Amino acid sequence: MLSEAVFYDTLRQGMWISVTMSAPILGVALIGGLGIGLFQALTSIQELTLTFVPKLLAIAVVFWMTMGFMTRTLTSYFDTTIVPLVAGG
């Protein structure tokens, strides 16, 4: 039987891994949004696609660059934590 401590520790680890994996993408989206917003405020250009397209491209590039890190992190978590719990170890 799985104890509550093991359950909550596994949940805490999973949530921390999800924060770690999403931080680069969210950081780029935040910095890109701030930069584009500042540019729009300085130039008075209020084009909707100006906010969407560059941020989308930046997110796609960062996702592509960090895909290996995300895959390694998630598979390591499953191999070391989830699979032994499911197998009863």
> What does the pLDDT look like over 11-35, one tens digit per residue?
999 999 999 999 999 999 999 999 9
User: Do residues 33 and 55 lie in contact, with contact meaning Cβ atoms separated by under 8 Å?
Assistant: yes
What is the separation of C-alpha 70 from the centre of its chain, rounded to a whole number of angstroms?
A: 8
Is this model's pTM higher than 0.85 or not? no
Q: Is residue 81 part of a domain?
A: yes
> What does the pLDDT look like over 60-70, one tens digit per residue?
999 999 999 99
At residue 51 the predicted structure's pLDDT band, cuts being 50, 70 and 90, is confident
Per DSSP, 61 falls in state: H
Q: Is residue 1 part of a domain?
A: no
- Mean pLDDT for the stretch of residues 62-89: 93
User: Do residues 52 and 36 lie in contact, with contact meaning Cβ atoms separated by under 8 Å?
Assistant: no
| Domain region containing 78 | 14-87
Q: Looking at the 3D structure of the chain, how many domains does it have?
A: 1
pLDDT in the model for residue 68: 96
